[in-house]
Amino acid sequence: MEITVRLADPPAEGRLDWPGGSFRCVLGRGGIRSAKREGDGATPVGRFALRRVLWRADRLERPETGLPVSPIASDDGWCDDPADPAYNHPVKRPYAASHEELWRDDHVYDVIVVMGHNDDPVVPGLGSAVFMHVARPDGAPTAGCVALPLQDLLRLLKDCAPGTALTVLDPAA
């Protein structure tokens, strides 16, 4: 299945379309960029396989999806330090290098879809932790991810299976 994301209203509102429907989504505060760099706040242009789903089992039922699903643990993190050998990989906290905490007090990471951005191979500095996740209630831009309201994300995941990919279109094209 193919999912397409396009910019709807600069800099951070987008539209996500797939054969099962269409939803408003939130994009990175840096807009959409073809030359993604660590820390630029941009959502990268490209086609990204959906690798797996992580979720907070203490808050939600297991998401219905054909993708592999794993619960998030309180010590889970994701390395975002380009100088670290674990860059753009999951890590266990505490971790010495800079990293995202996946177990958060807010609900943004209650469901995380790991996208195949900069992972085959990983190139230091080209961006890490680019996920699809739950949007903030106020619709605030992300740090480069694609975010949807929880119910929309759960609905989309029902149609996802191995081989599903998300394509972020270049607004300049």
Domains in the chain, ordered, with CATH?
Answer: 2-168 (2.40.440)
Which of these is catalytic: 25, 79, 99, 145?
A: 145
pLDDT of 9 higher than 90: no
Give the active site residue among 25, 79, 99, 133: 133
Main-chain dihedrals φ then ψ at residue 155, nearest 5 degrees: -65, -45
Q: What one-character DSSP code corresponds to residue 160?
A: -
Residue 133 contacts residue 38 (beta carbons within 8 Å): no
Residue range 123-173, pLDDT digits in tens: 999 999 999 999 999 999 999 999 999 999 999 999 999 999 999 999 988
**52-62 pLDDT per residue, tens:** 999 999 999 99
Check if 145 is active-site.
yes
pLDDT tens-digit series, residues 32-85: 999 999 999 999 999 999 999 999 999 999 999 999 999 999 999 999 999 999
Contact 26/144 with Cβ under 8 angstroms?
Answer: no
User: Exposed, middle or buried by CB within 10 Å (0-12, 13-18, 19+), for 53?
Assistant: buried
